[in-house]
Amino acid sequence: MCDPEKLGQAPAKLNRNRVADYQIKKSSIMKKFLLLVLCGVFLSTLIAQKKYDYDFQNPSLSIEKRVSDLVSKLTLEEKVSQMLNATPAIDRLGIPAYDWWNECLHGVARTKFKTTSYPQAIGMAATFDADAMKTMGDYTAEEGRAINNESNRTNNHSRYLGLTYWTPNINIFRDPRWGRGQETYGEDPFLTATMAKAFVSGLQGSDPKYLKAAGCAKHYAIHSGPEPSRHVFDVNVSDHDLWDTYLPAFKALVVGAKVAGVMCAYNAYAGQPCCGSDKLMVKILRDDWKFTGYVTSDCGAIDDFWQRHKTSPDAESAATDAVLHGTDVECGNVTYKSLIKAVQDGKLSEKDIDASLKRLFGIRFRLGMFDPVEMVKYAQIPVTVLESQPHKDHALKMARESIVLLRNQNHLLPLSTDVRKIAVLGPNADNANTQLGNYNGQPSVVTTVLQGIKDKIKDTTKIFYSRATNFVDTTEPDFGKLIDSVKDADVLIYVGGISPRLEGEEMRVTQQGFSGGDRTTIALPTVQTNFLKALKQTGKPIVFIIMTGSAVAFPWEAENIPAIINAWYGGQAAGTAVADVLFGDYDPSGRLPVTFYKSDNDLPSFEDYSMANRTYRYFKGEALYPFGFGLSYTTFQYSDLHLSKNTINKNESVEAEVTLSNKGNHKGDEVVQLYIAHDGIEYAPLQTLKGFKRVTLSPGQSQKVKFMITPELLKLVDDKGNSNFIPGKVKIIIGGSSPSKRNAELGTANTSEAVLTLK
């Protein structure tokens, strides 16, 4: 590596010949450096001197000037055409066609190119690894750029080839029945905000001038099912819940991460469609948060103004309402076309249209779409980066880190590779489609659990495989013959759960337990429980691997199946990751980003958006598995929690330090979690996550883990939505899970606590 500070220094103990060689090399390096500088100056001079037909084509001008010049040259009809997601080319000005709609929820999606597929978003949240999330965002943008560069070369500007990604989904997963909850980062506002900020930071890059790609925070706001009624639903929540639960992640992305875009939701809030909400779109987003990026509607959401919500009498009025509230792009091709007549009728001015156009073209200029390729480093990324080895390695890393070990009675796991016969069973044992989740890309290779096990074990081990059951079955199958086939196996591995073909966005699914993309029950389908009961009768060791995008209730299994693993929808490398955990090549370290409840009886009405008795922050019952929970093959111990101060005022921070020790026999990662609980305040959460760190320790190793607790982390949202520092006693809790009475039963009761006084 060249060290510029040493270029002018000859080593002290060189002979004369070596000194001469050094001086020659130094001179050569300086000449090359000067040549590069001169080339840069020359290129800049050429750009400055080049004659352009229009100012917007001149890269030496500011983006603001270029955008203003471009917009001023458009006719009203051309302006409106640029406010649909699929914008046509404007040949007379040399403006290419562009489609704003693209997806990269967990890798670049829906493209004809083969791309790297990471675990579904809920699985990535289970890693509690913000650094890995940032890297994943960076790799995803790299692949997206490569696809866009190749598409531009072939003059292909169709959908799913652009650089404006409508990701991440940062809605709070308030109810496990919501089918799209798999696309989120779970039920906690702090975890959601942290993982989303990391992703957007990686996706958008750090270049001071150009975006690597453009992220989009969706669905703004208060949107989490039910799917079948999302086009007509009017949400009313308290100001406390709005600011305590539903808005923090959006604020973190808009104000903190400077996300390029926001997508407004289908549903209404307080009587107004979200894309036309005075409070959400004008007061909060534009005025308070000073958001200058672009807003897109969810697809068809502006149609809903006049067709379903009935808040507007016709398309022209609906389009006017949306634009005046700052919705710049209609994902659709109907309602915004009426904007031409709306301007002609005086319902809004052409300047109102211009405001949206400037935000839209501002993003396109920041993506370098109107600059020479040689000026934009991202525009030179080749297609060879698609599915590159670092990307595939990272997909495996995140798949491993996402896996949550829920039960390991009598240390059944890890298994030995010397077993004589393994029975691999279940509808997800060899199911690549399930692993890829939804809003997914198509990688060249998807390793299923069956294949992962085959790759891991010795040639002398026999594998018996059967799909065994469907996901759901309305009849009672006869398992007798199948059970006879596995009685001589040393271990039975059942890979069940559910599927993204059953839960997801507004789906035509009516199987028992599922409706319209949502779930009507959180219970594991009966046919799977019955099959596991039949397996139990064999007396053989059983490992239950569940794939799911949400919390599932399986109280019988939690008491009777010795080993249970949650593998989510783990992406292209899920099978390898599961096998690594099964056979001890990786110590499981994933943590639950959602509460696993015991039954439907624990849940309020799905339509009720109040947070009362929802999620670990407000749920007063006993969970099957609490938020933040996850077992390991080793044993971690927390001790000596120390606060730098025992009393602070509202302007002070305090450092919390705890000692973490690996008392077991395996090297592993522990997710150290910091929770804060306020005593005696009615509207305060029972406890709430305010920090987490992944720590790797070898057996016998200890490490001090520190958290800085700022005044902002200690504030509470009151019943009017205001964030306040309230004097009183605060409990600081650091451990491997959220505080829960169940932890003692589950083997993760080890935490350290301290009391902090706020003055």
| Active-site residue list | 298, 503
Q: Which residue has the tokens 């009405």?
A: 605
Host H or E run for residue 705: strand 702-709
Classify residue 107 as left (phi > 0), alpha (psi -120 to 50) or beta.
left
Distance CA 237, CA 170 (A): 18
Host H or E run for residue 450: helix 449-456
Q: E-strand spans in 97-165?
A: 98-99
Distance CA 568, CA 514 (A): 18
Distance CA 754, CA 443 (A): 48
Q: How far is CA 496 from the centre of its chain?
A: 24
Distance CA 717, CA 683 (A): 8
Distance CA 219, CA 336 (A): 20
Contact 540, 486 (CB under 8 A): yes
Reduce the secondary structure of 627-683 to three states and give it as a string. CCCCECCCCEEEEEEEECCCEECCCCCEEEEEEEEECCCCCEEEEEEEEEEECCCCC
Classify residue 408 as left (phi > 0), alpha (psi -120 to 50) or beta.
beta
Q: Side chain identity at 473, as an amino acid letter?
A: D
Host H or E run for residue 184: none
Single out the residue of 407, 365, 309 nearest to residue 163, CA to CA.
365
Distance CA 54, CA 73 (A): 9
Single out the residue of 235, 236, 233 nearest to residue 308, CA to CA.
233
How many CB atoms within 10 Å of residue 616? Answer: 25
Distance CA 322, CA 336 (A): 9
Q: How far is CA 395 from the centre of its chain?
A: 14
Distance CA 248, CA 294 (A): 19
Contact 590, 402 (CB under 8 A): yes
Q: How far is CA 33 from the centre of its chain?
A: 42
Single out the residue of 504, 399, 499 nearest to residue 118, CA to CA.
399
Single out the residue of 527, 514, 425 nearest to residue 475, CA to CA.
527
Classify residue 368 as left (phi > 0), alpha (psi -120 to 50) or beta.
left
Sign of CA dihedral 379, 380, 382, 388: negative
Structure tokens at 203: 């996706």
Contact 739, 751 (CB under 8 A): yes
Structure tokens at 92: 């007379």
Distance CA 188, CA 686 (A): 13
Return the SS3 of 261: strand
Residue 426's alpha-carbon distances to 100, 529, 612, in angstroms, are: 40, 12, 37
Distance CA 425, CA 681 (A): 50
Q: Side chain identity at 183, as an amino acid letter?
A: E
CA 715-176-121 angle, to 5 degrees, is: 75
How many CB atoms within 10 Å of residue 456? Answer: 18
Would you state the torsion angle of the CA atoms of residues 91, 93, 95, 97, taken in this order, to the nearest 10 degrees?
-30
Residues 6 or more apart whose CB falls under 8 angstroms from that of 711 comprise 648, 650, 651, 652, 653, 725
